[in-house]
Amino acid sequence: MNFKVRAARKEDCKDISRMIMELAVYEKMPEQVKISNEELERDGFSPNPFFQCLIAEVSDENMTTDGYTVVGYALYFYTYSTWEGRSVFMEDLYVMPDFRGKGIGKGLLAKVAQVGVEKQCVRLQFSVLEWNKPSLDFYIAKGAVDLTAKEGWHNLRFYGQALDQLAKEAPNN
Amino acid sequence: MNFKVRAARKEDCKDISRMIMELAVYEKMPEQVKISNEELERDGFSPNPFFQCLIAEVSDENMTTDGYTVVGYALYFYTYSTWEGRSVFMEDLYVMPDFRGKGIGKGLLAKVAQVGVEKQCVRLQFSVLEWNKPSLDFYIAKGAVDLTAKEGWHNLRFYGQALDQLAKEAPNN
């Protein structure tokens, strides 16, 4: 199946929102999705955007029964390692179920890698749920290293009240 | 002990480099540090920097025997959650051993939280090694949630040859 990978435009946000929810359902945490279409448009498509996004598009003849031709996306941004320098972090990689196994996920992933390498990034990082064996297998087959398994890194987070409380306790000098 | 938390300047990079290595030694992976002072200066102190940094400074009377008054740092950047929006990621938080237990680490952490909240971030994220019990206890006492333990998130990474290979396989359309 032919598909095209291209940079997302503001008007793709509706498709991206739809697929963000599909991915969250797949990851069994749809109740955690609070983002609005307007926030995505503002944060990704204004000067100094918080993220970049690629989408995968198929031709009209392969349109879904619901009328979609945008069937996958990869959302990423730049981060920094104090050990090695510039990194690219892929927050999401998703392909709609009917379009899997056709090289689309691989194409999106490879494009993020290419964009990162062009920007002198030495790492492409991302997070995967440990029970999500198909995704882990997909990435590890391509040479990814599981740093939580290998070195013991855990992801921690402050949010809600704990984050507000911390912020209030910042020194004022 | 009095200390001041302030935004790092380009001329602080030597102190930051020194402490990056001290932290990597503490984390038992000093061989992974490849960054140069010049890269830090370029990536953090040019237009569109890849990171932001806060440093903790003590007065001359509390100077270390080696002559240092910059005794801690927190390095961070902005990331994005497709579920909740803007986030701040703290890559490093470090305080020199002789200056721990005096509220400096807490001050740096709280300042990162404050800066993030002011930028409408709803999360403050970071990674900790699972054997690093003192750090885990420090964060969890302040309300951080260990998402690897709670939800099973693992950190994965492509680098070196695997990253280059992926980038070469990007679709050309």
Domains, chain A, in order of start with CATH, read 3-168 (3.40.630.30)
CA angle B20, B24, B29 (to 5 degrees): 150
**What is the separation, in whole angstroms, between the first and last Cα of chain B?**
60
- Compute the distance between CA of residue A89 and CA of residue A119 in angstroms, rounded to an integer: 13
Nearest to A167 among B50, B110, B129 (CB): B110
Residue A20 pLDDT class (50, 70, 90 cuts): very high
Q: Check CB contact under 8 Å for A143 and B151.
A: no
Q: Are strands B123-129 and A153-159 parallel, antiparallel or unpaired?
A: antiparallel
Select from B79, B95, B93 the least CA-distant residue to B127: B93
At B37, is the pLDDT very low, low, confident or very high (cuts 50, 70, 90)?
very high
B32: confidence class by pLDDT, cuts 50, 70, 90:
very high
Q: Whole-angstrom Cα distance, residue A95 to residue B47?
A: 35
Three-state secondary structure readout of chain A: CCEEEEECCHHHHHHHHHHHHHHHHHCCCHHHCCCCHHHHHHHHCCCCCCCEEEEEEECHHHCCCCCCCEEEEEEEEEEEECCCEEEEEEEEEEECHHHCCCCHHHHHHHHHHHHHHHCCCCEEEEEEECCCHHHHHHHHHCCCEEHHHHHCEEEEEEEHHHHHHHHHCCCCC
**Residue listed under structure tokens 């990621």:** B89
Rounded to an integer, the average pLDDT of A123-152 is 97
Average per-residue pLDDT for chain A: 96
**B162·A169 Cβ contact <8 A:** no
Read off the pLDDT of residues B94-152 as tens digits, 9 standing for 90 and up.
999 999 999 999 999 999 999 999 999 999 999 999 999 999 999 999 999 999 999 99
- Overall average pLDDT of the B42-66 stretch: 96
Strand, coil or helix: B146: strand
Q: Which residues contact B119 (CB under 8 A, 6 or more apart)?
A: B78, B86, B88
Going by their DSSP bridges, the two strands A52-58 and A70-81 should be labelled as antiparallel
Q: How many CB pairs under 8 A join A and B?
A: 288
Cα(A105)–Cα(A125) distance, integer angstroms: 16
Nearest to A68 by CA among A98, A109, A101, A102: A98
Answer whether A155 sits within 8 Å of B148, measured CB to CB: yes
What is the pLDDT of chain B when averaged over all its residues? 96
**Residues of chain B contacting residue A159, judged by C-beta atoms under 8 Å apart:** 84, 122-124, 145
Q: What is the CA radius of gyration of chain B?
A: 18
Report the residue of chain A nearest B130, measured CA to CA. Answer: A152
Is B170–A110 a contact, with Cβ atoms under 8 angstroms apart?
Answer: yes
Smallest Cβ distance to A146: which of B145, B156, B170? B156
Q: How confident is the model at residue B1 (pLDDT cuts 50, 70, 90)?
A: confident
C-alpha Rg value of chain A to the nearest Å = 18
What is the set of active-site residues of A? Answer: 139
Q: Distance between alpha carbon B71 and the CA centroid of its chain, in Å?
A: 14
Answer left, alpha or beta for residue A31, where phi above 0 means left and psi between -120 and 50 means alpha. Answer: alpha
What whole-number distance in Å separates Cα of residue A163 and Cα of residue B123?
7
Of B5, B154, B156, the CB nearest to A173: B5
Interchain CB distance below 8 Å, B33 and A127: no
Read off the pLDDT of residues A54-82 as tens digits, 9 standing for 90 and up.
999 999 999 999 999 999 999 999 999 99
Question: Given this model, what pLDDT does residue B172 score?
Answer: 84
Whether A164 has a pLDDT exceeding 90, the answer reads: yes
Is B139 a known active-site residue? yes
Integer Cα distance of B124 and B112 in angstroms: 8
Measured between beta carbons, the chain B residues lying within 8 angstroms of A111 are 170-171
Question: How confident is the model at residue B61, as a pLDDT?
Answer: 96
Interface test mutation site (partner B, options A79, A157, A172, max chain B beta carbons within 10 A): A157
- B34 C-beta neighbours (distance < 10 Å), count: 11
Q: How far apart are the CA of A77 and the nearest CA of chain B, in angstroms?
A: 7
